Amino acid sequence: MPMTAYQTWGPITPSDTVDLPRLTAGIWVGTAGNLVAVTAGGDTSTLLAVPAGCWVPLAARRINATNTTAGGLVAFYG
C-alpha cells in the first residue's frame, strides 16, 4: 500500500496528560521500543517492540510517556 504524501508532521513528546494537536494519520518510530497510544475514544493500547525505522499507520490522540520506550517519534497528520 503506498504512503500518502503528508504536508503536516512534527515531533512527538510523549505525555500522560497532553494530547497531540489532532489525531495522527501515522507515526514514524526512529528508535525501537514500546509505544503506548491513546485512541480518539480514550482507550489505551501498547504496541510492543516496535522496530526502529517503522511506520505505524495509527490514529492516536496522544502517546503516553509512561511505558513508552520507543524514541524519535514523528506524528504525520492527514
Q: Which pLDDT value is given to residue 3?
A: 65
Q: How many percent of the chain have pLDDT more than 70? A: 96
CB contact set of 12 (below 8 Å; sequence gap of 6+):
20, 27, 63, 73, 74, 75
Asked if residues 71 and 30 have their Cβ atoms less than 8 Å apart, the reply is yes
Say yes or no to pLDDT of 1 above 60.
no
| Each residue's pLDDT tens digit, 34-59 | 999 999 999 999 999 999 999 999 99
Q: Break the chain into its structural domains and give their ranges.
A: 9-77
Of 60 and 2, the one with more pLDDT: 60
Reported pTM: 0.91
**Residue 6 confidence class, pLDDT cut points 50, 70, 90:** confident
